[in-house]
Amino acid sequence: SVANIKSQIKRNRTNEQRRLRNRAVKSELKTYVRHTREAVEAGDREEAEKFLQIASRKLDKAVSKGVIHKNQAANRKS
């Protein structure tokens, strides 16, 4: 249902913006984690280390922005 209260209309708007941003960030995380795994499986050490560094940094950023929980980030890194 559509909200009548001004503040609630605004909340709906910000929630939607956050949902889209969070979705984009999560998608990017999945991509980098996948690239890292693929490089490891291919035995390409240099590439794997490069992607691991990027993935690690992005996971930490997602935690600080509240997109994912810190334990989930730790789990994905391991």
Both tokens of 55, joined, read 């993935």
Q: What are phi and psi of 66, to 5 degrees?
A: 80, 20
The pLDDT tens digits for 29-66 are 999 999 999 998 888 888 889 999 999 999 999 998 88
Which domains are present in the chain?
Answer: 6-77 (1.20.58.110)
Q: What is the dihedral of CA 21, 27, 67, 57, to 10 degrees?
A: -110
Q: Residue 78: what pLDDT?
A: 84
Whether the CB-CB separation of 59 and 77 falls below 8 Å is answered with yes
Residues above pLDDT 70, as percent of the chain: 99
Q: Is this prediction's pTM over 0.85?
A: no
d(CA 44, CA 22): 31
Q: Residue 1: what pLDDT?
A: 67
Both tokens of 43, joined, read 């035995």
Q: Residue 6: what pLDDT?
A: 93
